[in-house]
Every structure is written in structure tokens, then in C-alpha cells.
Structure 1
Amino acid sequence: MRVKVACVGGGPAGLYLSILLKLQDPSHDITVHERNPEGSTYGWGVTYWRALLDRLQEHDPETARALDENSVRWTDGVAHVRDLTTRHSGDQGHGIGRHRLLEILAARARALGVRLDFEHEITAETLPADADLVVAADGVHSALRSRHADHFGTRLTPGRNRYVWLGTSKVFDAFTFAFVETEHGWIWCYGYGYADDRSTCVVECSPRTWTGLGFDRASQADGLALLEKLFAGVLDGHPLIGGSGGAPWLTFRTLTNRTWHRDNLVLIGDAAHTTHYSIGAGTTLALEDAIALAGALRAHSALPQALAHYERERRAALLPVRSAARYSAQWYENLPRYIHLPPERMFALLGQRHSPLLPHVPPQLYYRLDRAAGRLDSLRRLKRWLGPKLARTAHARTLTPED
């Protein structure tokens, strides 16, 4: 059945959904409305893992191939703590510039007959009246969702630490962490390549360190200069780069909604949910939302049933991701608990930061148990049994019934 779809927001979620719906039925009338000019976007590079490419390959091999060909890869992780360094090999990670990702998705959508309407802001008052489905893919500050915030039950939960998202001409050959001690506390960065000549560099610290180092009153130029000095050991003389609109320090806010749809309006991507940037899942979750929504619309001819199915599927899939993101953020917020371990042990627990068991066990003991669990089935079973129980307890303490 031919449907008319208005997708508000030209990010990864909205563009990929339009691609999938056109592949399902070329007769669908689909327009993606984006308020910004084509080619303008925020951010630097995004990360994803091989499992996402495999999923994209199932649904649209052409998009998966273009994404793969335009990504950089790494298998190692490196941690620098003071003047000590440790390196570990792991799963293959991928990085791609956000600008290039959107170019790929926009070109594929156009080739399939999707209309892309740039520099046109759609509000609740200017929505196409004859649209069968309206997709709010307009991000964490979604205007469409905000208009019905009471219905959606939107909640924003602020984190504690300050962070800033930067670029650099230093090309990291591994996913790189650097932890620097100052007289005002620890500050750290993590960097990863996303092009032949660029990397993303995210800097984070506690509020006390942020104000103690003067970032609350420094100009952008002075702030970047100080960060370049602090992280000179990993930047090798390369500059840090702020965006055209500046490089604001932010506090991450976790967004949740009680429900994701209202009549013919449905939330997708960051308009529906956010997860802490330290697990690098935002783009992956947006694309997986698009896959699930397209699948639900294909499986159910009635829109209410399709939207309800989509929401159930994605809520269930997000539970472990949200738990991992919450514990990951808390690991960094409690960095002093781990930073004085030998670097190889600290890095091992950094890799375990998603664990609901880790905050409840002394770090040195957890490290020994984790090493032993890799060799002993009984300890591995104990870890699997305790982890979910502690996760459920923490989840019940931190979430209200509306979540």
C-alpha cells in the first residue's frame, strides 16, 4: 500500500529509514525535511562495529558497501596514564566522518527517489496535512516531540562530568585514551581516526577540574591551547580543532520517553532516546531504529499496530545498551577509584566499565576475579548470575515507573 511519509530531520536515522521504505515499496511518497543547508553538520567522526555493517548488508548491501569503503579501521586500544603506556588488541572498530556518512545516505536516498528538502524547518504547525506517517528524527531537542512532551513523558537526566567534542589533524592508529593528572584533578581524552587526515578527540573531566583549570572562563582559543599543552604527549604537535560554531563544554543529558508514538507521529533516534557518548553507540542505535521501524511497517498494515510493535522491539533492545551506558558514564565519574591501579589493570577495568558488578567489588579483587573467570567455569557462572541481579537493583533505584 502506497503511503506518504514526512521525515523531519536529515540525520542518519531519517535518511536510512527513507532508504529502507523506498526499497520496500518504490511507490511510497517520502520526503526528508532538514532545516540546515545540505553538507552542514555538527561533530567530527562517529564509531561503529562490524556487527552494524553485517546488519546493513542484510537490508541494503549498497549502503553497507559505501560505508565500509569510506571508513577507517583499528583493532588496538592504547591507554596513556602519566608517563606509562599499555596497549591491547580487541575487536575491529570503524570510524567515519559524520559529514561523509550523511553524504552517502543522502546520495542513496536520492537515487531511490526520496525527496530531500533542505533549509526548510518543519514545525508541528507546518507538517504536511496529508502525511500518513510523520517521523520525528529531529534529534534530542526535537520540536515535534517537545510540542507533546506531556504525552511522550520526556525526561532529561543530567550527568556530572563536563566534556567537549573536538577534532585534530593527529591520526590515531588505535583507539587512544590519555589520562593526565593536574593540580585540580584528572582530565582525560579519547581519540579515534575517521579519515586519512583527521581524528575525533573527546575531552572529559569532573566539574571541579573544569573550573580549577579555568575552562569556565577561558576563550575558545585559550581553552584549546591549554588542552593542546595537557595532551601534548599524544597529539605529537598536532592542533585541536573546534567547530565553526565554537567548541562548547557540555554536560551529557540522558533522554528517555514514556512512549514513542502519538497518532501518526513516531520518534526515532536521538528524539526517542540518548545513550552516553562513552559507549559510542548513538549512530548504531539510530540506524537500528530505522531498521526496526521499517520492518514493523512492512509486517503490519495498520499503523497503530506497526508503531506499537516498533516501540516494543526497540525498548527491549535498548535495555542492555542503556545499562552499559549508565555504568560507563559512572566509571568515568568515579575515575579516582581506578586510576591508581597499574596501567594494564586500569585499562582492563576500563574495558569492563559496562559491568554492573564492578562498582560493588574492590577494583583489584574484580580484576583478579575477572582473570580467573576466564579460566574457571564456576566463577564465570557466578559473574553472569550476579551481574544481572545488581543491574536490576540499580535500574530500579534510578528509574521511575514511567521509564
Structure 2
Amino acid sequence: MRLRTVAVLGGGPGGLYTARLLRLRMPDCEVRLIEQTEPRQTFGFGVGLATRTQRNLQAADPESFEGILGIAHSHEMTMTVDGHAVTLPSDDLIAVSRGTLLDVLREHAAGAGVRLEYGDHGYATELAKEVDLVIAADGVSSATREELGVFGSSVTTADGLYLWAGTDVALPSALFTPATTEHGTFVAHAYPYAADRSTFLVETDEETWRRAGFDVTTEQTPYDCDDQVALDYLSDAFAEQLPGHRLIGNRTRWLRFRTVSCERWHDRNVVLLGDAVHTAHYSIGSGTKLAMEDGIALVEALAGASDLETALTDYEAQRRPAVEHLQSTALRSMRWWDTFPTRLDLPVERLWVAYMTRAGKVTLDRFGSTAPDVVRTAINQYASTAAPQPAATAGPLPEASGVPVGGFSDWVLAHQSPFVDGLAEVFVDVGDPRGADADVLIKGLDATAVLLTSGDDREAVLTMLDVAERIRLETATRVEVRIPTAERDLGAAALVSGRADAVRLRGEAR
């Protein structure tokens, strides 16, 4: 297929990266990138890029990836609760300044022959008449998506609130930590992205937000201004993590995360990309990552298809499953962070296990292969609170130099608390573990102990474990769960994380 002219709407990382890739793969194609905002008016703080994303970017375009590495700042991860800090070894985590990243991508796009234009481009429907293809990478509030109104878009707004700020010091590592004030608990996600800068994101629940008066300050803060009252309040709340420094804003105000999804990703010669077509909660993946990986898939589809409709259909077919899986994982992660303050009675090492295994992507054994000391400590902390099964050998986890695959999970399941006899099974079949159906299920429990079961697939088991944790946190009920043997890793992680009191594998006697 030969494209003569392509217009890319949106000068964010996804748009710039896609425009460059198009020129590299189709050098005869004229590529225009149209952005309303002048380069120096761009706002934002840091952008994180995990290991897998780095590999994808390097494979797609080694030259621009080298440019990104040149501005990157690597970091470890630390969780601190009640003054006790535990740091995980670095796993090639990097972060970059969003503004500097845009400068690098802008330079590489121009170097590949992309024509950069700034100002009002008019309507996508009119632009689509002038070019072969319009790629709309115009963000979560996509004017193209709203203008055409044919993509079957759905936007879900979260209950919790977050505020994206920064500070003029490089933190020693990425940081997860709570701060409890007279109004409630605020949780910080922070990481360094330059020699003298860090992103500092803070989230809280609506009741705490209202008690602190931020419902009023949010209403009084224009969309393009900073909520200075909130920035000052949080600078004081996190003073220990910000010695001698304050939080700084850049159009910083309290927001609720919006999850965007679309039934269709393209219409005729207009296709959506990045936040315009999907979003995933920031706790598990950035919009930058998704948009740039969308660009890789879109350009591959355009280069390999015989006609435009086939290419755009192939692009969606290739990307949708991965995006929807990530959105599902991100939703679990968001719910976990929304309820993070309820877990602060756990030691930090067990909190790390709960965090890493919260969405089912990382198993206890995989986490143990990268942070064995943390996992060993967490398991021994768990074992000290659990009365071992009669057949199990009591004592701490052996200090072997290497634990075979499955070793951590097997040891935990063997040393869990004994089962309670005669429990009636409650089948968990709810879409949202924090929704109305789950509320009814939990309120209807009338027992001191309960045995939960679910469908066999991994998503069903994860939902059941989320409900189990709610029961443990919100009631005095002991919770046992029955799961398929194939999902034993989820069971072991649930025990160490405090999501369940006991785990029965299918086939064991009741």
C-alpha cells in the first residue's frame, strides 16, 4: 500500500514517535504533525519507561531510543511505612523529563522529514478530505473522538482523587509512602527523572479530600492554574520526604482518573491512537508507553497491508487484546491503591509482596527471583502469624542460596493456618469486587468463617481474592478460599499479602 499524505494530530510522545516511524518506513509519504500547543508551552513532569517498553522502543527505532537513553534517569524503588524503608534492587527502571522527551522526539521526527505545524488545524472531518490518513493522537479529551462520535467511546471516572506535582530535588529512589494527617491518609508515588527533579504524585479518597477542604479549592482553581493550597498542605504532610524542598505545580489540581475505551478504533481514514482511544491507570503503565507502542503496531500494519482498511483493522486486532488486558490489570491496581491505607498494619516486606502481586502479573516466585531477601522476610513474617498445618514442618523458611521455581509458593502453602471444618461454600460471581453485587454478598455473610470459591479462570480467581480481602478488612470473618491447583501461585501470594486466611487447592478434602 502506498500512502501519499498523512496527518498526525497531537504533538505528544505517541504522535511524534508514530510520525517518525512512518517517515522511516515510508520515505515517499508526506507526514504532517499538527499540534495546537507551541513546544515551550508543554506541561508535565516525569515519564517512566519499564524494561519491556525499552526493549520495544529499541527494536522499533534504535536511533531515537539512544536519544531517550541519553536523557534517562535510572532508579530503584523504596516503600516506607512508619519510618521503616525497604528498597528493591533496580530492574532497569528509567524515567525521563516529559518536556525533554518531547524535545528529543521532536528533533528525531524533524530529522526524518516530518513537517511540524503548530496552531489550530480545524476539524478532523475536513482534514480527512485532504490527506490519505488522519492519525488522532490528541489525548484523553480527544477532540477527534468527540467530533466524529462514531467510535463507541466509554469514559469511566474513578472514585479516588490524585494530584500530579513535582519537586526540585532528585529523590534517591522511587518512593511509595503514606502520610496521615488530621484529615486522613494521603499516599505518595514519587520518582526522580532528572538530576534535580522528581515527579510527586499524591492520591487520596474522597472523604479525606473533602475533610481537608480540597473540594472547595478544586472548584476555585481554574483548569490551567495550580491548587497552591493543596501543594502547600501536601508539602507539609510529606516534609520528611522533601527535606528543605516544596512541591511545585504545573497546572496541578486534584483530578479523578478517567478510563477511556472504544468499541471501534478507526472510521474510514481516521484512526485513534494512545489516550484518545484507551487509557490505563498510571500505577501500572503510562499513557506514553501505550501511545508509543500503539505507534509501532500501527506503522507495522500500514507497511504490511495491501489497503488502508485492512491495515487499520489489523492494527486494532493486534493491539486491542494487549490493551484490554493491561486495562483490566490497571483497574485491579487502581483499586489496590485506593485501599492502600487499610493495609498499613502489615510489615513493609509483606506490603511489597501485596503490591507486586496485586494484579496477578507477578507471582510470588517471580518476585522472589528478583528480590529474594524481601520475599524471604515477608514469608517468615507471615509464618510467624500462621499456625502451621499439622503435616508441615515448623520453622522459618530455609536460608538456601537458591530456591527452585515454585519453592516459595510451595513452602507458604505447606505452612499456612489449618482449615476450619464444615464451612459452607460461597460462590463469588461479581464483575466488580468493590461494586454493588460484592457489597450485597459481603453484607449477607452471617458466619464467623467462610469458604469462597469461584470460576476456574485466572480473572475469576483474582476477583474472588479481591472480595476475600474486602471481607477480611471490613469484617471479623475468617476467609478461606478454594482455587484451582493451576493458580496455586495466586493462593500463596494471597496468604503472604493478607488477602486470605487459608487456601484450599481443588481436590483437597473439605
Q: Normalising TM by the smaller chain, what interval? A: 0.7 to 0.9
Partner Cα distance (1:139, 1:88) in 2: 33
Tell me which moved more, 312-321 or 217-226.
217-226
Conserved? CA contact 2:356–2:362, under 8 Å = no
Partner Cα distance (2:120, 2:324) in 1: 35
The one-letter code matched in structure 1 to 2:210 is T
Superposition deviation, residue 229 in structure 1: 0.7
Q: Kindly tell me: are residues 139 and 393 of structure 1, through their superposed partners in 2, closer, same or farther at Cα, counting changes over 3 Å?
A: farther
In the alignment, which residue of structure 2 is the partner of 1:256? 261
In the alignment, which residue of structure 2 is the partner of 1:27? 28
CA RMSD of aligned residues (A): 2.8
In the alignment, which residue of structure 1 is the partner of 2:450? none
Conserved? CA contact 1:45–1:98, under 8 Å = yes
SS for the counterpart of 1:234 is coil
In the alignment, which residue of structure 2 is the partner of 1:194? 193
**Structure 2 length-normalised TM:** 0.70
Are positions 1:295 and 2:300 aligned together?
yes
In the alignment, which residue of structure 2 is the partner of 1:265? 270
Aligned residues: 383
Superposition deviation, residue 90 in structure 1: 4.3
Q: Kindly tell me: are residues 140 and 61 of structure 1, through their superposed partners in 2, closer, same or farther at Cα, counting changes over 3 Å?
A: same
Superposition deviation, residue 189 in structure 1: 0.7
The one-letter code matched in structure 2 to 1:100 is T
Structure number with bigger Rg: 2
Superposition deviation, residue 124 in structure 1: 2.9
Identity of aligned residues (%): 35
In the alignment, which residue of structure 2 is the partner of 1:236? 243
Conserved? CA contact 1:170–1:236, under 8 Å = no
The one-letter code matched in structure 2 to 1:231 is F
The one-letter code matched in structure 2 to 1:324 is T
The one-letter code matched in structure 2 to 1:232 is A
Map residues 28-47 of structure 1 onto 2, 5 A cutoff. 28-47=29-48
In the alignment, which residue of structure 2 is the partner of 1:375? 407
Superposition deviation, residue 307 in structure 1: 0.4
Tell me which moved more, 224-233 or 211-220.
211-220
Deviations 1:91-114 (CA, angstroms, capped at 9, x unpaired): 121110111111111111111111
Superposition deviation, residue 128 in structure 1: 5.1
Map residues 125-204 of structure 1 onto 2, 5 A cutoff. 125-127=125-127, 129-149=129-149, 151-204=150-203
Partner Cα distance (1:238, 1:286) in 2: 33
Partner Cα distance (2:206, 2:151) in 1: 31
Superposition deviation, residue 378 in structure 1: 5.9
The one-letter code matched in structure 2 to 1:301 is S
Deviations 1:134-167 (CA, angstroms, capped at 9, x unpaired): 1111011111111222x21100111111100001
In the alignment, which residue of structure 2 is the partner of 1:309? 314
Superposition deviation, residue 376 in structure 1: 5.3
SS for the counterpart of 1:291 is helix
Conserved? CA contact 2:285–2:330, under 8 Å = no
Deviations 1:11-32 (CA, angstroms, capped at 9, x unpaired): 1111111111111121101101
Partner Cα distance (2:275, 2:411) in 1: 38
Conserved? CA contact 1:46–1:280, under 8 Å = no
Q: Kindly tell me: are residues 357 and 25 of structure 1, through their superposed partners in 2, closer, same or farther at Cα, counting changes over 3 Å?
A: closer
Conserved? CA contact 1:228–1:235, under 8 Å = yes
In the alignment, which residue of structure 2 is the partner of 1:400? none
Tell me which moved more, 310-319 or 83-92.
83-92
SS for the counterpart of 2:236 is helix
Q: Kindly tell me: are residues 376 and 241 of structure 1, through their superposed partners in 2, closer, same or farther at Cα, counting changes over 3 Å?
A: closer
Q: Kindly tell me: are residues 320 and 90 of structure 1, through their superposed partners in 2, closer, same or farther at Cα, counting changes over 3 Å?
A: farther
Are positions 1:71 and 2:103 aligned together?
no
Gaps of 5+ in 2: 222-226, 364-377, 384-396, 398-402, 414-455, 466-510
Partner Cα distance (1:272, 1:37) in 2: 24
Partner Cα distance (2:328, 2:335) in 1: 11
Conserved? CA contact 1:44–1:167, under 8 Å = yes
Conserved? CA contact 1:77–1:175, under 8 Å = yes
Conserved? CA contact 1:327–1:356, under 8 Å = no
Q: 1:278 aligns with which of 258, 273, 283?
A: 283
Conserved? CA contact 1:270–1:286, under 8 Å = yes
The one-letter code matched in structure 2 to 1:109 is A
Partner Cα distance (1:19, 1:124) in 2: 21
Gaps of 5+ in 1: 359-363, 395-403
Partner Cα distance (1:207, 1:267) in 2: 32
Q: Kindly tell me: are residues 239 and 315 of structure 1, through their superposed partners in 2, closer, same or farther at Cα, counting changes over 3 Å?
A: same
Partner Cα distance (1:280, 1:389) in 2: 22
The one-letter code matched in structure 2 to 1:181 is T
**Structure 1 length-normalised TM:** 0.88
Partner Cα distance (1:392, 1:337) in 2: 18
Deviations 1:240-274 (CA, angstroms, capped at 9, x unpaired): 1011xx32100001000001000001000000100
The one-letter code matched in structure 2 to 1:227 is L
The one-letter code matched in structure 2 to 1:116 is L
The one-letter code matched in structure 1 to 2:189 is Y
Map residues 100-139 of structure 1 onto 2, 5 A cutoff. 100-127=100-127, 129-139=129-139
Q: 1:227 aligns with which of 234, 238, 249?
A: 234
Quick check: which one's strand share is greater?
1
Q: Kindly tell me: are residues 120 and 160 of structure 1, through their superposed partners in 2, closer, same or farther at Cα, counting changes over 3 Å?
A: same
Partner Cα distance (1:45, 1:90) in 2: 18
Partner Cα distance (1:391, 1:264) in 2: 39
Which of 1 and 2 has higher RCO (CA within 8 Å, sep 6+)?
Answer: 1
In the alignment, which residue of structure 2 is the partner of 1:13? 14
Superposition deviation, residue 122 in structure 1: 3.3
In the alignment, which residue of structure 1 is the partner of 2:212? 213
Superposition deviation, residue 78 in structure 1: 1.0
Partner Cα distance (1:39, 1:172) in 2: 26
